[in-house]
Structure 1
Amino acid sequence: MAKEKKTVTKIDPRKELSPYLNHISDRQKKKSKKPKLSTSLSKLRYERRKSLSINLGIILGVSFIAILCLGYYVSPLANISVVQVLGAEDLPSKQLVQNSGINASDKVVTYTSHKQKLTKRLSGKYPEIKQISVSVKNLNQLVLNVKEYEAIGFIKDGDRYRKILSNGKIGSQSLAWSEINQDKPIFIGYSHKVSLKDDLKLFNSFPDEFRNQVKLLSASTKRRTQIILVMKDGNVIIGNIDTLGNKIQYYDIIKKKAGKNSLIDFEIGAFSRPLNSHEKKAFGIS
Protein backbone atom coordinates (compact mmCIF):
# COMPACT_ATOMS: atom_id res chain seq x y z
CA MET A 1 0.00 0.00 0.00
CA ALA A 2 1.45 3.21 -1.16
CA LYS A 3 1.98 6.01 1.33
CA GLU A 4 -0.03 9.23 0.86
CA LYS A 5 2.02 12.26 -0.03
CA LYS A 6 1.71 15.03 2.58
CA THR A 7 0.97 18.54 1.34
CA VAL A 8 3.54 21.02 2.57
CA THR A 9 2.33 24.60 3.11
CA LYS A 10 4.99 27.19 2.62
CA ILE A 11 5.02 29.96 5.25
CA ASP A 12 6.64 33.29 4.68
CA PRO A 13 8.27 34.20 7.96
CA ARG A 14 8.40 37.90 7.09
CA LYS A 15 4.67 37.95 6.52
CA GLU A 16 3.97 36.22 9.80
CA LEU A 17 6.31 38.45 11.75
CA SER A 18 5.38 41.73 10.04
CA PRO A 19 2.61 42.75 12.56
CA TYR A 20 4.99 42.14 15.42
CA LEU A 21 7.85 43.93 13.69
CA ASN A 22 5.60 46.88 12.77
CA HIS A 23 4.41 47.14 16.38
CA ILE A 24 7.99 47.24 17.63
CA SER A 25 8.88 49.84 14.98
CA ASP A 26 5.97 52.09 16.02
CA ARG A 27 6.97 51.89 19.68
CA GLN A 28 10.53 52.84 18.80
CA LYS A 29 9.31 55.81 16.75
CA LYS A 30 7.12 57.00 19.60
CA LYS A 31 9.99 56.67 22.00
CA SER A 32 12.22 58.63 19.65
CA LYS A 33 9.59 61.42 19.33
CA LYS A 34 9.04 61.78 23.09
CA PRO A 35 10.97 64.84 24.26
CA LYS A 36 13.62 64.41 26.77
CA LEU A 37 12.96 65.76 30.25
CA SER A 38 16.12 67.84 30.25
CA THR A 39 15.06 69.63 27.05
CA SER A 40 11.65 70.58 28.55
CA LEU A 41 13.26 71.95 31.70
CA SER A 42 15.70 74.06 29.70
CA LYS A 43 12.86 75.52 27.64
CA LEU A 44 10.85 76.26 30.79
CA ARG A 45 13.82 78.03 32.40
CA TYR A 46 14.29 80.10 29.22
CA GLU A 47 10.64 81.20 29.18
CA ARG A 48 10.79 82.14 32.85
CA ARG A 49 13.94 84.20 32.34
CA LYS A 50 12.36 85.93 29.33
CA SER A 51 9.17 86.75 31.24
CA LEU A 52 11.19 88.00 34.23
CA SER A 53 13.28 90.24 31.98
CA ILE A 54 10.18 91.77 30.38
CA ASN A 55 8.51 92.42 33.74
CA LEU A 56 11.71 93.89 35.13
CA GLY A 57 12.04 96.15 32.07
CA ILE A 58 8.47 97.41 32.53
CA ILE A 59 9.02 98.12 36.23
CA LEU A 60 12.29 99.94 35.54
CA GLY A 61 10.70 101.96 32.71
CA VAL A 62 7.70 103.03 34.79
CA SER A 63 9.96 103.85 37.74
CA PHE A 64 12.22 105.94 35.51
CA ILE A 65 9.27 107.90 34.11
CA ALA A 66 7.86 108.40 37.62
CA ILE A 67 11.22 109.72 38.83
CA LEU A 68 11.40 112.12 35.87
CA CYS A 69 7.86 113.39 36.52
CA LEU A 70 8.52 113.82 40.23
CA GLY A 71 11.80 115.58 39.52
CA TYR A 72 10.05 117.93 37.08
CA TYR A 73 7.23 118.65 39.55
CA VAL A 74 9.54 119.63 42.43
CA SER A 75 11.89 121.62 40.20
CA PRO A 76 11.45 125.33 39.26
CA LEU A 77 10.71 124.19 35.69
CA ALA A 78 7.21 123.17 36.80
CA ASN A 79 6.41 126.69 38.01
CA ILE A 80 4.43 128.90 35.62
CA SER A 81 6.73 131.36 33.89
CA VAL A 82 4.38 132.92 31.32
CA VAL A 83 0.60 132.97 30.81
CA GLN A 84 -0.58 133.55 27.24
CA VAL A 85 -4.20 134.32 26.31
CA LEU A 86 -5.53 133.33 22.89
CA GLY A 87 -8.97 133.89 21.36
CA ALA A 88 -10.20 136.80 23.48
CA GLU A 89 -9.91 139.62 20.97
CA ASP A 90 -11.72 142.31 22.96
CA LEU A 91 -10.85 141.20 26.49
CA PRO A 92 -7.84 142.73 28.30
CA SER A 93 -5.36 139.85 28.56
CA LYS A 94 -3.44 141.22 31.54
CA GLN A 95 -6.61 141.84 33.55
CA LEU A 96 -7.99 138.45 32.57
CA VAL A 97 -4.87 136.69 33.90
CA GLN A 98 -5.04 138.68 37.14
CA ASN A 99 -8.69 137.72 37.65
CA SER A 100 -7.93 134.08 36.88
CA GLY A 101 -6.05 133.72 40.17
CA ILE A 102 -2.98 132.24 38.45
CA ASN A 103 0.32 133.02 40.20
CA ALA A 104 3.90 132.62 39.02
CA SER A 105 4.66 130.23 41.88
CA ASP A 106 1.82 127.88 40.91
CA LYS A 107 2.50 124.56 39.24
CA VAL A 108 1.60 124.16 35.56
CA VAL A 109 -0.15 120.83 36.09
CA THR A 110 -2.49 122.42 38.65
CA TYR A 111 -4.37 124.29 35.92
CA THR A 112 -4.25 121.72 33.12
CA SER A 113 -6.81 119.63 35.03
CA HIS A 114 -8.97 122.52 36.34
CA LYS A 115 -10.26 124.15 33.15
CA GLN A 116 -13.90 124.02 34.34
CA LYS A 117 -12.96 125.87 37.51
CA LEU A 118 -11.13 128.51 35.45
CA THR A 119 -14.09 128.86 33.08
CA LYS A 120 -16.53 129.33 35.95
CA ARG A 121 -14.29 131.88 37.70
CA LEU A 122 -13.65 134.03 34.62
CA SER A 123 -17.09 133.80 33.01
CA GLY A 124 -18.50 135.35 36.19
CA LYS A 125 -16.45 138.49 35.47
CA TYR A 126 -16.56 138.29 31.68
CA PRO A 127 -19.95 137.18 30.24
CA GLU A 128 -18.26 136.88 26.82
CA ILE A 129 -16.39 133.75 27.93
CA LYS A 130 -18.07 130.49 27.01
CA GLN A 131 -15.24 128.06 27.74
CA ILE A 132 -11.52 128.01 28.51
CA SER A 133 -9.16 125.22 27.57
CA VAL A 134 -5.62 125.04 28.93
CA SER A 135 -2.47 123.85 27.20
CA VAL A 136 1.24 123.92 28.05
CA LYS A 137 4.04 125.21 25.85
CA ASN A 138 7.79 124.87 26.47
CA LEU A 139 7.30 122.94 29.73
CA ASN A 140 6.18 125.88 31.90
CA GLN A 141 4.29 128.33 29.69
CA LEU A 142 0.54 128.20 30.29
CA VAL A 143 -1.75 128.96 27.33
CA LEU A 144 -5.39 129.91 27.97
CA ASN A 145 -7.50 129.30 24.86
CA VAL A 146 -10.66 131.37 25.29
CA LYS A 147 -13.84 130.53 23.41
CA GLU A 148 -16.37 133.37 23.41
CA TYR A 149 -20.12 133.52 22.85
CA GLU A 150 -21.03 134.86 19.43
CA ALA A 151 -22.08 138.51 19.25
CA ILE A 152 -25.49 138.75 17.54
CA GLY A 153 -25.50 142.55 17.74
CA PHE A 154 -24.36 145.60 19.71
CA ILE A 155 -26.21 147.81 22.17
CA LYS A 156 -25.46 151.53 22.26
CA ASP A 157 -24.03 152.59 25.63
CA GLY A 158 -23.56 156.36 25.59
CA ASP A 159 -21.06 157.08 22.84
CA ARG A 160 -19.78 153.51 22.86
CA TYR A 161 -21.13 149.98 22.32
CA ARG A 162 -21.33 146.63 24.07
CA LYS A 163 -21.78 143.18 22.60
CA ILE A 164 -25.15 141.46 22.79
CA LEU A 165 -24.18 137.84 23.19
CA SER A 166 -25.94 134.73 21.86
CA ASN A 167 -26.71 133.71 25.47
CA GLY A 168 -28.71 136.93 25.93
CA LYS A 169 -26.14 138.65 28.16
CA ILE A 170 -24.38 141.96 27.58
CA GLY A 171 -20.61 142.01 27.10
CA SER A 172 -18.34 143.51 29.73
CA GLN A 173 -16.28 145.62 27.36
CA SER A 174 -17.19 149.10 26.14
CA LEU A 175 -16.13 149.40 22.48
CA ALA A 176 -15.66 152.28 20.07
CA TRP A 177 -17.56 152.36 16.76
CA SER A 178 -14.37 151.40 14.92
CA GLU A 179 -13.96 148.28 17.12
CA ILE A 180 -17.35 146.68 16.47
CA ASN A 181 -18.53 144.47 13.61
CA GLN A 182 -20.68 146.95 11.71
CA ASP A 183 -22.42 144.19 9.77
CA LYS A 184 -24.21 143.26 13.02
CA PRO A 185 -27.39 145.18 14.02
CA ILE A 186 -27.27 148.02 16.54
CA PHE A 187 -29.82 148.14 19.37
CA ILE A 188 -30.57 151.70 20.56
CA GLY A 189 -32.86 153.24 23.15
CA TYR A 190 -32.79 150.29 25.55
CA SER A 191 -32.61 151.38 29.16
CA HIS A 192 -34.52 148.48 30.73
CA LYS A 193 -33.35 144.86 30.54
CA VAL A 194 -36.93 143.64 30.18
CA SER A 195 -37.43 145.69 27.03
CA LEU A 196 -34.21 144.40 25.50
CA LYS A 197 -35.08 140.83 26.51
CA ASP A 198 -38.44 140.93 24.70
CA ASP A 199 -37.08 142.59 21.56
CA LEU A 200 -34.10 140.25 21.50
CA LYS A 201 -36.43 137.25 21.70
CA LEU A 202 -38.37 138.66 18.74
CA PHE A 203 -35.19 139.31 16.75
CA ASN A 204 -33.96 135.75 17.32
CA SER A 205 -37.28 134.39 16.03
CA PHE A 206 -36.76 136.00 12.61
CA PRO A 207 -35.40 133.85 9.75
CA ASP A 208 -31.62 134.07 9.29
CA GLU A 209 -31.99 135.74 5.89
CA PHE A 210 -34.13 138.52 7.35
CA ARG A 211 -31.91 139.04 10.43
CA ASN A 212 -28.94 139.64 8.13
CA GLN A 213 -30.85 142.54 6.51
CA VAL A 214 -31.47 144.40 9.80
CA LYS A 215 -29.19 147.39 10.39
CA LEU A 216 -30.72 148.87 13.56
CA LEU A 217 -33.41 148.11 16.16
CA SER A 218 -34.85 150.99 18.16
CA ALA A 219 -36.81 150.98 21.41
CA SER A 220 -37.26 154.78 21.24
CA THR A 221 -40.95 154.37 20.42
CA LYS A 222 -44.31 155.80 21.52
CA ARG A 223 -45.38 152.54 23.10
CA ARG A 224 -43.40 149.91 24.95
CA THR A 225 -44.82 147.14 22.75
CA GLN A 226 -43.73 148.97 19.61
CA ILE A 227 -40.45 148.29 17.82
CA ILE A 228 -38.71 149.99 14.89
CA LEU A 229 -36.34 148.19 12.53
CA VAL A 230 -34.08 150.07 10.13
CA MET A 231 -33.09 147.84 7.24
CA LYS A 232 -29.84 147.84 5.24
CA ASP A 233 -31.85 148.43 2.05
CA GLY A 234 -33.05 151.85 3.37
CA ASN A 235 -36.54 150.82 4.48
CA VAL A 236 -37.99 151.24 7.98
CA ILE A 237 -40.35 148.73 9.61
CA ILE A 238 -42.69 149.55 12.47
CA GLY A 239 -44.38 146.69 14.29
CA ASN A 240 -45.73 145.27 17.51
CA ILE A 241 -43.41 142.85 19.32
CA ASP A 242 -46.31 140.44 19.85
CA THR A 243 -47.33 140.18 16.17
CA LEU A 244 -44.36 141.24 14.03
CA GLY A 245 -42.83 137.76 14.07
CA ASN A 246 -45.79 136.36 12.12
CA LYS A 247 -46.06 139.29 9.70
CA ILE A 248 -42.40 139.59 8.73
CA GLN A 249 -42.82 136.90 6.07
CA TYR A 250 -44.64 139.48 3.90
CA TYR A 251 -41.81 142.01 3.97
CA ASP A 252 -40.19 141.02 0.66
CA ILE A 253 -43.54 141.19 -1.18
CA ILE A 254 -44.43 144.63 0.24
CA LYS A 255 -41.00 146.21 -0.28
CA LYS A 256 -41.11 145.35 -4.00
CA LYS A 257 -44.29 147.41 -4.31
CA ALA A 258 -43.21 150.14 -1.90
CA GLY A 259 -39.78 150.80 -3.38
CA LYS A 260 -36.67 152.13 -1.65
CA ASN A 261 -36.68 154.38 1.47
CA SER A 262 -40.22 153.47 2.51
CA LEU A 263 -41.92 153.19 5.87
CA ILE A 264 -43.64 149.80 6.19
CA ASP A 265 -46.13 149.63 9.05
CA PHE A 266 -47.07 146.15 10.32
CA GLU A 267 -48.79 147.25 13.53
CA ILE A 268 -52.37 147.09 12.27
CA GLY A 269 -52.62 145.32 8.95
CA ALA A 270 -49.84 146.31 6.58
CA PHE A 271 -49.30 149.51 4.60
CA SER A 272 -46.37 151.52 3.30
CA ARG A 273 -45.45 155.10 2.33
CA PRO A 274 -42.25 156.94 1.37
CA LEU A 275 -40.09 158.30 4.21
CA ASN A 276 -39.99 162.10 4.56
CA SER A 277 -36.73 164.01 4.95
CA HIS A 278 -37.12 164.34 8.74
CA GLU A 279 -37.59 160.57 9.13
CA LYS A 280 -34.60 159.84 6.92
CA LYS A 281 -32.41 162.08 9.05
CA ALA A 282 -33.74 160.57 12.27
CA PHE A 283 -33.01 157.01 11.12
CA GLY A 284 -29.65 157.85 9.51
CA ILE A 285 -30.80 157.08 5.97
CA SER A 286 -29.21 159.06 3.19
Structure 2
Amino acid sequence: MPKKRVTKIDPRKELSPYLNHQENQNRNHKKKSKVSASLSKLKSYRRKSLFKNLGIIVGTSLIAVLILGYYVSPLANVNNVQVVGADDLSSKKVVSSSGIKASDKLIDYRLNSKKLNSNLEQKYPEIQHVSVEISHINRLVLNVKEYPTIAYIKVKDGYRKLLSNGKIGSNALAWSKIDQGKPLFIGYSKKTSLIDDLELFNSLPASFRNQVKLLSGSAIRKSQIILVMKDGNVVIGDISTFKQKIKYYNAIKKKAGKNSLIDLEVGAFSRPLTKSEMKAYGIS
Protein backbone atom coordinates (compact mmCIF):
# COMPACT_ATOMS: atom_id res chain seq x y z
CA MET A 1 0.00 0.00 0.00
CA PRO A 2 1.51 3.23 -1.04
CA LYS A 3 2.46 5.78 1.59
CA LYS A 4 0.35 8.85 2.01
CA ARG A 5 2.04 12.00 1.04
CA VAL A 6 2.47 14.30 4.02
CA THR A 7 2.59 18.05 3.38
CA LYS A 8 4.60 19.99 5.87
CA ILE A 9 3.11 23.35 6.84
CA ASP A 10 5.09 26.13 8.48
CA PRO A 11 2.74 27.70 11.07
CA ARG A 12 4.67 30.95 11.03
CA LYS A 13 4.38 31.21 7.29
CA GLU A 14 0.71 30.48 7.40
CA LEU A 15 0.05 32.91 10.20
CA SER A 16 2.37 35.68 8.94
CA PRO A 17 -0.33 37.48 6.86
CA TYR A 18 -2.57 37.57 9.89
CA LEU A 19 0.23 38.59 12.19
CA ASN A 20 1.35 41.28 9.75
CA HIS A 21 -2.20 42.51 9.48
CA GLN A 22 -2.50 42.66 13.27
CA GLU A 23 0.84 44.43 13.54
CA ASN A 24 -0.21 46.98 10.95
CA GLN A 25 -3.49 47.46 12.74
CA ASN A 26 -1.68 48.02 16.04
CA ARG A 27 0.76 50.41 14.38
CA ASN A 28 -2.05 52.40 12.77
CA HIS A 29 -3.93 52.47 16.03
CA LYS A 30 -0.86 53.84 17.81
CA LYS A 31 -0.39 56.48 15.12
CA LYS A 32 -4.03 57.47 15.41
CA SER A 33 -3.67 57.62 19.19
CA LYS A 34 -0.56 59.82 18.88
CA VAL A 35 -2.23 62.11 16.35
CA SER A 36 -5.32 62.31 18.54
CA ALA A 37 -3.20 63.11 21.61
CA SER A 38 -1.25 65.76 19.66
CA LEU A 39 -4.48 67.33 18.45
CA SER A 40 -5.83 67.37 22.00
CA LYS A 41 -2.65 69.03 23.28
CA LEU A 42 -2.74 71.56 20.45
CA LYS A 43 -6.36 72.40 21.17
CA SER A 44 -5.55 72.75 24.89
CA TYR A 45 -2.55 75.00 24.14
CA ARG A 46 -4.61 77.15 21.79
CA ARG A 47 -7.36 77.43 24.39
CA LYS A 48 -4.90 78.46 27.11
CA SER A 49 -3.18 80.93 24.77
CA LEU A 50 -6.55 82.40 23.83
CA PHE A 51 -7.56 82.84 27.49
CA LYS A 52 -4.14 84.33 28.28
CA ASN A 53 -4.37 86.85 25.46
CA LEU A 54 -7.92 87.71 26.42
CA GLY A 55 -6.79 88.19 30.03
CA ILE A 56 -3.99 90.54 28.92
CA ILE A 57 -6.35 92.56 26.71
CA VAL A 58 -9.05 92.76 29.40
CA GLY A 59 -6.48 93.61 32.12
CA THR A 60 -4.79 96.28 30.00
CA SER A 61 -8.15 97.77 29.05
CA LEU A 62 -9.24 97.81 32.69
CA ILE A 63 -6.02 99.54 33.79
CA ALA A 64 -6.38 102.08 30.97
CA VAL A 65 -9.99 102.79 32.00
CA LEU A 66 -8.94 103.22 35.65
CA ILE A 67 -6.08 105.57 34.70
CA LEU A 68 -8.33 107.59 32.41
CA GLY A 69 -11.03 107.67 35.07
CA TYR A 70 -8.52 108.91 37.64
CA TYR A 71 -7.11 111.54 35.25
CA VAL A 72 -10.50 113.10 34.53
CA SER A 73 -11.62 112.90 38.17
CA PRO A 74 -11.06 115.64 40.78
CA LEU A 75 -8.62 113.31 42.56
CA ALA A 76 -6.04 114.01 39.82
CA ASN A 77 -6.21 117.76 40.37
CA VAL A 78 -3.71 119.67 42.50
CA ASN A 79 -5.31 120.06 45.91
CA ASN A 80 -2.32 121.10 48.00
CA VAL A 81 1.26 122.27 47.34
CA GLN A 82 4.13 121.80 49.80
CA VAL A 83 7.48 123.58 49.38
CA VAL A 84 10.54 121.80 50.84
CA GLY A 85 14.13 123.08 51.04
CA ALA A 86 13.58 126.86 50.75
CA ASP A 87 13.33 127.92 54.39
CA ASP A 88 14.08 131.59 53.72
CA LEU A 89 11.48 131.94 50.95
CA SER A 90 7.75 132.42 51.38
CA SER A 91 6.06 129.14 50.40
CA LYS A 92 2.94 131.05 49.36
CA LYS A 93 4.94 133.31 47.01
CA VAL A 94 6.91 130.36 45.61
CA VAL A 95 3.68 128.54 44.73
CA SER A 96 2.23 131.72 43.21
CA SER A 97 5.38 132.27 41.11
CA SER A 98 5.40 128.64 39.96
CA GLY A 99 2.15 129.11 38.02
CA ILE A 100 0.48 126.08 39.63
CA LYS A 101 -3.33 126.26 39.68
CA ALA A 102 -5.90 124.12 41.53
CA SER A 103 -7.38 122.91 38.23
CA ASP A 104 -4.00 121.57 37.01
CA LYS A 105 -3.29 117.86 36.84
CA LEU A 106 -0.70 116.43 39.23
CA ILE A 107 0.77 114.03 36.68
CA ASP A 108 1.48 116.85 34.21
CA TYR A 109 3.89 118.49 36.66
CA ARG A 110 5.37 115.13 37.68
CA LEU A 111 6.23 114.22 34.08
CA ASN A 112 7.23 117.68 32.86
CA SER A 113 8.53 120.27 35.32
CA LYS A 114 10.54 122.38 32.85
CA LYS A 115 8.10 125.29 32.80
CA LEU A 116 7.81 125.26 36.59
CA ASN A 117 11.61 125.32 36.94
CA SER A 118 11.89 128.15 34.44
CA ASN A 119 9.29 130.25 36.26
CA LEU A 120 10.95 129.85 39.66
CA GLU A 121 14.55 130.27 38.46
CA GLN A 122 13.62 133.58 36.80
CA LYS A 123 11.88 134.83 39.92
CA TYR A 124 14.35 133.58 42.55
CA PRO A 125 18.13 133.78 41.84
CA GLU A 126 18.80 131.41 44.78
CA ILE A 127 16.84 128.54 43.22
CA GLN A 128 19.07 126.16 41.27
CA HIS A 129 16.57 123.39 40.56
CA VAL A 130 13.13 122.11 41.60
CA SER A 131 12.09 118.46 41.52
CA VAL A 132 8.43 117.44 41.79
CA GLU A 133 6.86 114.60 43.76
CA ILE A 134 3.26 113.49 44.39
CA SER A 135 2.22 112.76 47.96
CA HIS A 136 -1.08 111.81 49.66
CA ILE A 137 -2.95 111.24 46.36
CA ASN A 138 -3.32 114.89 45.32
CA ARG A 139 -0.55 116.82 47.08
CA LEU A 140 2.27 118.26 44.97
CA VAL A 141 5.66 118.49 46.72
CA LEU A 142 8.25 120.95 45.37
CA ASN A 143 11.77 119.97 46.47
CA VAL A 144 13.84 123.13 46.06
CA LYS A 145 17.63 123.01 45.68
CA GLU A 146 19.34 126.36 46.26
CA TYR A 147 22.75 127.65 45.22
CA PRO A 148 25.24 127.58 48.11
CA THR A 149 25.54 130.80 50.11
CA ILE A 150 29.10 132.19 50.03
CA ALA A 151 28.52 135.27 52.19
CA TYR A 152 25.96 137.97 53.01
CA ILE A 153 25.71 141.60 52.00
CA LYS A 154 24.39 144.34 54.28
CA VAL A 155 21.43 146.20 52.78
CA LYS A 156 19.03 148.82 54.18
CA ASP A 157 16.41 146.32 55.34
CA GLY A 158 18.70 143.50 56.52
CA TYR A 159 21.11 141.04 54.93
CA ARG A 160 20.92 139.26 51.59
CA LYS A 161 22.64 136.09 50.48
CA LEU A 162 25.61 136.24 48.12
CA LEU A 163 25.35 133.05 46.10
CA SER A 164 27.89 130.80 44.38
CA ASN A 165 26.37 131.74 41.01
CA GLY A 166 27.44 135.37 41.60
CA LYS A 167 23.91 136.64 42.25
CA ILE A 168 22.25 138.27 45.24
CA GLY A 169 19.40 136.53 47.07
CA SER A 170 15.88 137.88 46.61
CA ASN A 171 15.02 138.19 50.32
CA ALA A 172 16.34 140.50 53.02
CA LEU A 173 16.98 138.47 56.19
CA ALA A 174 17.22 139.51 59.82
CA TRP A 175 20.56 139.13 61.63
CA SER A 176 19.17 136.16 63.57
CA LYS A 177 18.32 134.34 60.33
CA ILE A 178 21.75 134.40 58.70
CA ASP A 179 24.67 132.01 59.10
CA GLN A 180 26.96 134.19 61.21
CA GLY A 181 29.93 131.96 60.46
CA LYS A 182 29.97 133.32 56.90
CA PRO A 183 31.54 136.71 56.07
CA LEU A 184 29.67 139.96 55.48
CA PHE A 185 30.14 142.35 52.57
CA ILE A 186 29.64 145.88 53.95
CA GLY A 187 29.71 149.32 52.31
CA TYR A 188 29.38 148.19 48.69
CA SER A 189 27.63 150.91 46.69
CA LYS A 190 28.82 149.79 43.25
CA LYS A 191 27.65 146.50 41.82
CA THR A 192 30.82 146.01 39.72
CA SER A 193 33.07 146.20 42.80
CA LEU A 194 30.83 143.72 44.61
CA ILE A 195 30.89 141.24 41.73
CA ASP A 196 34.68 141.49 41.34
CA ASP A 197 35.33 141.04 45.08
CA LEU A 198 32.84 138.16 45.37
CA GLU A 199 34.40 136.38 42.40
CA LEU A 200 37.90 136.74 43.90
CA PHE A 201 36.75 135.69 47.37
CA ASN A 202 35.03 132.60 45.99
CA SER A 203 38.28 131.55 44.27
CA LEU A 204 40.40 131.71 47.46
CA PRO A 205 41.28 128.58 49.48
CA ALA A 206 38.56 127.49 51.92
CA SER A 207 41.09 127.56 54.78
CA PHE A 208 41.55 131.31 54.23
CA ARG A 209 37.87 132.11 53.51
CA ASN A 210 36.89 130.58 56.85
CA GLN A 211 39.07 133.15 58.66
CA VAL A 212 37.37 136.16 57.04
CA LYS A 213 34.83 138.11 59.09
CA LEU A 214 33.88 140.80 56.57
CA LEU A 215 34.87 142.48 53.32
CA SER A 216 34.76 146.25 53.14
CA GLY A 217 33.54 148.18 50.10
CA SER A 218 35.25 151.38 51.26
CA ALA A 219 38.43 150.74 49.25
CA ILE A 220 40.45 153.71 48.03
CA ARG A 221 40.96 152.22 44.58
CA LYS A 222 38.68 150.10 42.42
CA SER A 223 41.32 147.37 42.22
CA GLN A 224 41.81 147.28 46.01
CA ILE A 225 40.22 144.64 48.24
CA ILE A 226 39.93 144.94 52.04
CA LEU A 227 39.25 141.98 54.34
CA VAL A 228 38.70 142.08 58.09
CA MET A 229 39.70 138.79 59.70
CA LYS A 230 38.10 137.05 62.67
CA ASP A 231 41.34 137.39 64.66
CA GLY A 232 41.22 141.22 64.43
CA ASN A 233 43.71 141.70 61.60
CA VAL A 234 42.97 143.62 58.39
CA VAL A 235 44.30 142.42 55.04
CA ILE A 236 44.47 144.64 51.95
CA GLY A 237 45.54 143.64 48.48
CA ASP A 238 45.14 144.16 44.76
CA ILE A 239 42.50 142.07 43.00
CA SER A 240 44.88 141.09 40.21
CA THR A 241 47.60 139.70 42.54
CA PHE A 242 45.82 138.87 45.79
CA LYS A 243 45.24 135.19 45.00
CA GLN A 244 48.94 134.62 44.33
CA LYS A 245 50.11 136.50 47.43
CA ILE A 246 47.71 134.90 49.91
CA LYS A 247 50.23 132.09 50.48
CA TYR A 248 52.36 134.55 52.50
CA TYR A 249 49.51 135.47 54.85
CA ASN A 250 50.03 132.87 57.63
CA ALA A 251 53.77 133.57 57.93
CA ILE A 252 53.23 137.35 58.12
CA LYS A 253 50.36 136.93 60.61
CA LYS A 254 52.60 135.03 63.05
CA LYS A 255 55.14 137.86 63.07
CA ALA A 256 52.59 140.68 63.05
CA GLY A 257 50.48 139.64 66.04
CA LYS A 258 46.94 140.78 66.78
CA ASN A 259 45.21 143.89 65.38
CA SER A 260 47.67 144.44 62.54
CA LEU A 261 47.29 145.71 59.00
CA ILE A 262 48.75 143.15 56.58
CA ASP A 263 49.45 144.83 53.26
CA LEU A 264 49.76 142.55 50.23
CA GLU A 265 49.27 145.24 47.58
CA VAL A 266 52.90 146.08 46.79
CA GLY A 267 55.24 143.55 48.31
CA ALA A 268 54.13 142.12 51.66
CA PHE A 269 54.47 143.80 55.06
CA SER A 270 52.50 144.55 58.23
CA ARG A 271 52.04 147.28 60.83
CA PRO A 272 49.77 147.81 63.89
CA LEU A 273 46.33 149.25 63.22
CA THR A 274 45.62 152.76 64.43
CA LYS A 275 42.67 153.42 66.75
CA SER A 276 40.78 155.22 63.99
CA GLU A 277 41.34 152.26 61.63
CA MET A 278 40.11 149.81 64.27
CA LYS A 279 37.00 151.92 64.78
CA ALA A 280 36.41 152.18 61.03
CA TYR A 281 36.61 148.41 60.59
CA GLY A 282 34.56 147.63 63.70
CA ILE A 283 37.42 146.04 65.62
CA SER A 284 37.25 146.38 69.39
TM range (shorter): 0.7 to 0.9
* 1:124 equivalent in structure 2: 122
Structure 1 vs Structure 2: percent identity of aligned residues?
64
Are positions 1:228 and 2:226 aligned together? yes
Q: Number of aligned residue pairs: give it.
A: 260
C-alpha contact (below 8 Å) 1:162/1:171 kept by paired residues: yes
Residue type of the partner of 1:47?
Y
Residue type of the partner of 1:232?
K
Query: 1: CA distance between counterparts of 2:273 and 2:265?
Result: 17
Task: Output one character per residue of 1:159-200: Cα deviation in whole Å (capped at 9) or x when no partner.
Answer: 511111111111100111111111111111222221112112
Pick aligned residue for 2:83 from 64, 72, 85: 85
Residue type of the partner of 1:60?
V
* 1:7 equivalent in structure 2: none
* 1:252 equivalent in structure 2: 250
* 1:279 equivalent in structure 2: 277
Taking the TM superposition and a 5 Å limit, the aligned residue runs for 1:92-171 are: 92-171=90-169
Taking the TM superposition and a 5 Å limit, the aligned residue runs for 1:134-213 are: 134-213=132-211
Unaligned runs of 5+ in 2: 1-19
Task: Quote how far apart the aligned CAs of 1:110 are.
Answer: 2.0
Query: 1: CA distance between counterparts of 2:135 and 2:202?
Result: 40
Query: 2: CA distance between counterparts of 1:210 and 1:33?
Result: 96
Give the 3 Å change call, closer, same or farther, for CA 159–275 of structure 1 in structure 2: farther
SS of 2:123 mapped into structure 1: coil
Task: Quote how far apart the aligned CAs of 1:276 are.
Answer: 2.3
TM-score, normalised to structure 2's length? 0.87
Q: Which runs of 4+ in 1 moved over 6 A?
A: 32-35
Query: 1: CA distance between counterparts of 2:68 and 2:283?
Result: 68
Query: 1: CA distance between counterparts of 2:271 and 2:204?
Result: 23
Query: 2: CA distance between counterparts of 1:159 and 1:64?
Result: 59
Give the 3 Å change call, closer, same or farther, for CA 33–180 of structure 1 in structure 2: farther
Unaligned runs of 5+ in 1: 1-23
Query: 2: CA distance between counterparts of 1:249 and 1:162?
Result: 30
C-alpha contact (below 8 Å) 1:219/1:226 kept by paired residues: no
SS of 1:36 mapped into structure 2: helix
Pick aligned residue for 2:54 from 53, 56, 62: 56
* 2:268 equivalent in structure 1: 270
TM-score, normalised to structure 1's length? 0.86
Task: Quote how far apart the aligned CAs of 1:114 are.
Answer: 2.4
Query: 2: CA distance between counterparts of 1:141 and 1:168?
Result: 34
C-alpha contact (below 8 Å) 1:116/1:132 kept by paired residues: no
Pick aligned residue for 1:215 from 200, 213, 216: 213
* 1:37 equivalent in structure 2: 35
Query: 1: CA distance between counterparts of 2:191 and 2:279?
Result: 28
Query: 1: CA distance between counterparts of 2:240 and 2:30?
Result: 97
C-alpha contact (below 8 Å) 1:263/1:275 kept by paired residues: yes
Task: Quote how far apart the aligned CAs of 1:79 are.
Answer: 1.5
Query: 1: CA distance between counterparts of 2:112 and 2:189?
Result: 38
C-alpha contact (below 8 Å) 2:157/2:172 kept by paired residues: no
Residue type of the partner of 2:134?
V
Are positions 1:73 and 2:76 aligned together? no
C-alpha contact (below 8 Å) 2:164/2:202 kept by paired residues: no
Residue type of the partner of 1:260?
K
